[in-house]
């Protein structure tokens, strides 16, 4: 008889680590729940915020495309550009011009969205407080000290900044809330992870002491990494890596079971660090001292943005201005077309589409004449 193999025991299950716990939460779309949250949206706040957004967008959105002139200002990766153009079948000047314009507009807005959030979306809140989110005065003083310095001097001075990583702050009762706002779930990269972790480890005591000096009665500060959209499950995990780098370096988990993902400094136990993503971020912005009471706020923001865009696009005649810019691009692309007589004979096998993609990609390598 064949020798019976011993039964292999199952390996012991690894206890859930910090990352597992932070990634475990799920947001499920339920129409009934959304209906309940709609009932809490404040129409007057939506109207006020949509007006502010309309004004902001009308002034700033045109700058993102009207500051670009020729093809050299629409430079993009030529290898990806040709691949994308062939894949989606872009074979004429106008469709390619629209593609270039749309791509650059999207990337520009993606980059500037964080500043838009800070400038317009966050300032009307918290809901039930006379204090509102604002630029930390300590950061404004640091910025004012840069006046008159050269670019090199500013760069050197910024490297010593204490408040650089903090975007907004608000005082509620005896606590000051500080937030660093990142636009989305894939915004933070490895360099920023290390930079943010180093800033917290190096500066959290100074943030606490300067907060106490700046407002009477403050006893604690919360430092919150905020992502304006996404879910716990869909991020690139970089915000969690920031927390992980703090553990053992002066911070520890306060209570994994009661408050998963909340760290507290081991020395004073007066500085907490955590992250808030998507719905939870807007809930935090609306009620930083009362989690869960403003879960509807992300709807309020989206409704304000929808209404604000509707108002400002019509008022600023953006559709006409965008159409003119795309026609300008199409004309520039048309002028780049090669005369076949200037090409070597062996390129006779290149089709019109291939030549078009080739000449368009050339714009990535020149500053003038295109």
Chain centroid to Cα 285, Å, comes to 15
> Under CATH, what is the fold of the domain 31-127+294-370?
type ii restriction endonuclease, domain 1 (1.10.3250)
Domain edges within the chain: 31-127+294-370, 133-293
Per-residue pLDDT tens digits for 73-107: 666 667 777 777 777 777 777 777 777 777 766 66
Q: In the prediction, which pLDDT does 321 show?
A: 63
- Decide: 175 and 219 in contact? Cβ < 8 Å: yes
Rounded to two decimals, what is the model's pTM?
A: 0.78
- CA 187 → CA 123, 197, 222, distances in Å? 22, 16, 22
Tell me how far apart the alpha carbons of residues 329 and 322 are, in angstroms, rounded to a whole number.
11
Angle, helix 43-60 to helix 93-116, in steps of 10 degrees: 120
User: 23 exposed, middle or buried (CB, 10 Å; 0-12, 13-18, 19+)?
Assistant: middle
Q: In the prediction, which pLDDT does 12 show?
A: 44
Q: In the prediction, which pLDDT does 13 show?
A: 41
User: Locate tokens 């136990």: which residue?
Assistant: 269
Q: In the prediction, which pLDDT does 84 show?
A: 74
Tell me how far apart the alpha carbons of residues 104 and 234 are, in angstroms, rounded to a whole number.
25
Query: Does the CA dihedral 143-147-149-152 come out positive or negative?
Result: positive
Tell me how far apart the alpha carbons of residues 207 and 192 are, in angstroms, rounded to a whole number.
19
Per-residue pLDDT tens digits for 329-370: 666 666 666 677 777 888 777 777 777 767 777 766 776 665
- Rg, the chain, Cα only: 26
Six-digit token string for 120 = 């317009």
- Decide: 174 and 215 in contact? Cβ < 8 Å: no
Tell me how far apart the alpha carbons of residues 51 and 8 are, in angstroms, rounded to a whole number.
67
- DSSP secondary structure letters along 333-358: HHHTPPPGGGS-GGGGG--HHHHHHH
Below-50 pLDDT ranges, the chain: 1-15
Query: Could you tell me the strand order of the sheet in which 168-172 lies?
Result: 168-172, 175-182, 220-227, 271-277, 259-265, 251-255
Q: In the prediction, which pLDDT does 36 show?
A: 86
Q: In the prediction, which pLDDT does 184 show?
A: 84
């Amino acid at each position: 008889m064949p020798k019976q193999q011993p039964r292999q025991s199952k390996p012991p299950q690894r206890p859930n680590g910090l990352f597992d716990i932070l990634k475990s939460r799920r947001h499920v779309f339920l129409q009934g729940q959304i209906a309940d949250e709609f009932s809490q949206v404040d129409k007057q706040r939506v109207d006020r915020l949509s007006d502010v957004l309309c004004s902001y967008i009308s002034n700033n959105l045109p700058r993102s495309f009207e500051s670009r002139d020729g093809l050299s200002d629409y430079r993009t990766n030529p290898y990806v550009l040709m691949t994308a153009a062939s894949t989606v079948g872009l074979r004429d000047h106008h469709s390619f011009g629209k593609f270039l314009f749309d791509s650059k507009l999207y990337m520009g807005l993606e980059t500037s969205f964080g500043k838009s959030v800070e400038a317009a979306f966050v300032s009307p809140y918290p809901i039930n407080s006379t204090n509102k989110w604002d630029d930390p005065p300590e950061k404004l003083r640091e910025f004012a000290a840069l006046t008159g310095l050269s670019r090199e001097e500013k760069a050197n001075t910024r490297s010593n900044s204490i408040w650089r990583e903090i975007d907004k702050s608000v005082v509620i009762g005896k606590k000051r809330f500080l937030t660093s706002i990142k636009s989305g779930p894939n915004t933070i990269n490895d360099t920023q992870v290390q930079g943010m972790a180093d800033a917290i480890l190096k500066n959290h005591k100074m943030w606490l002491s300067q907060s106490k000096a700046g407002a009477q009665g403050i006893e604690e500060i919360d430092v919150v990494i905020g992502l304006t959209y996404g879910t716990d499950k869909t991020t690139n995990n970089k915000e969690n890596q920031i927390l992980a780098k703090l553990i053992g370096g002066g911070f520890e988990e306060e209570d994994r079971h009661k408050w998963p993902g909340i760290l507290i400094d081991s020395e004073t136990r007066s500085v907490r660090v955590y992250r808030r993503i998507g719905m939870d971020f807007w809930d935090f912005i609306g009620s930083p001292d009362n989690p869960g009471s403003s879960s509807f706020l992300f709807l309020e923001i989206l409704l304000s943005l929808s209404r604000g865009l509707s108002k400002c696009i019509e008022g600023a005649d953006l559709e006409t201005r965008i159409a003119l810019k795309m026609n300008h691009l199409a004309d520039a692309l048309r002028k780049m077309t090669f005369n076949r007589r200037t090409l070597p004979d062996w390129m006779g096998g290149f089709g019109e589409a291939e030549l078009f993609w080739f000449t368009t990609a050339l714009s990535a390598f020149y500053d003038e004449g295109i």
